[in-house]
Chain A
């Protein structure tokens, strides 16, 4: 069974640009959650999607958005990039909504904003 895949793995963008990251969950998983990992703030929850609906959202500005498609693949978008958005973005999939069900993490997309 293929694991969670994230594309691209590495990305370099300039301040003010926007970026779209993609996450393909494990087959049969309907929930996708996104997390941001930085040395200063650690791991922080961004949002969760289940059956194409955002169920839960963390404390991030509106520049961070996401969506989920009917095949459960998810994308997150960051507009008007800032230097502080440089981070490892992790997505996790699970069969059910919520975090009690085991979440399987992808390898992450490392975004560098210059």
Chain B
């Protein structure tokens, strides 16, 4: 069965430092993968998605993610953290045969000034 695992429920980085949020998927076929962000008291916003067109996916707000089949990973990165990046980030997958999103447990990002 397809699922995603997010390593680290909390990540803290200093402002200006690299952001790296980890997501591993388990799938027998290349899945559709997504990263969503949730700011306090708001819904989710799509950052980027992988649909097998390109392994390096660029998203909004300077985020990008690289699909690595050999590592079954889809980690989210941003070169330089801003205070406004503080939020909860969710990795998600669409399972074969279904058409809905299955979310990871989320990673809360704190940016230290």
Tell me which of A55, A90, A92, A107 contacts B99 (CB under 8 A).
Answer: A55
Of A4, A43, A100, A107, which is in contact with the most chain B CB atoms at under 10 Å from its CB?
A43
Contact B100 A108 (CB under 8 A): no
> When chains A and B are docked, how far (Å) is the Cα of A58 from the Cα of B102?
10
Q: List 24 A-B contacts (CB under 8 A).
A: A4-B43, A35-B101, A42-B104, A42-B106, A43-B90, A43-B101, A43-B103, A45-B101, A48-B100, A58-B100, A90-B44, A92-B43, A92-B44, A98-B99, A99-B32, A99-B94, A100-B49, A100-B94, A102-B46, A103-B46, A105-B36, A105-B44, A105-B45, A107-B41
* Residues from chain A with Cβ under 8 Å of B105 in the complex: 42
Minimum CB distance partner of A97 in chain B: B99
> When chains A and B are docked, how far (Å) is the Cα of A90 from the Cα of B51?
24
| 5 further contact pairs, Cβ within 8 A, besides A43-B106, A99-B101, A108-B42 | A45-B102, A58-B100, A99-B32, A100-B49, A107-B41
Interface size of B by CB at 8 A reads: 21
* Residues from chain A with Cβ under 8 Å of B98 in the complex: 56
Contact B103 A56 (CB under 8 A): no
Contact B103 A102 (CB under 8 A): no
A33 at the interface (CB under 8 A from B): yes
Contact B41 A100 (CB under 8 A): no
Residues of B within 8 A of A (CB): 32, 36, 41-46, 49, 51, 90, 94, 98-106
Tell me which of A92, A98, A102 contacts B49 (CB under 8 A).
Answer: A102
Minimum CB distance partner of A33 in chain B: B100
> When chains A and B are docked, how far (Å) is the Cα of A72 from the Cα of B45?
21
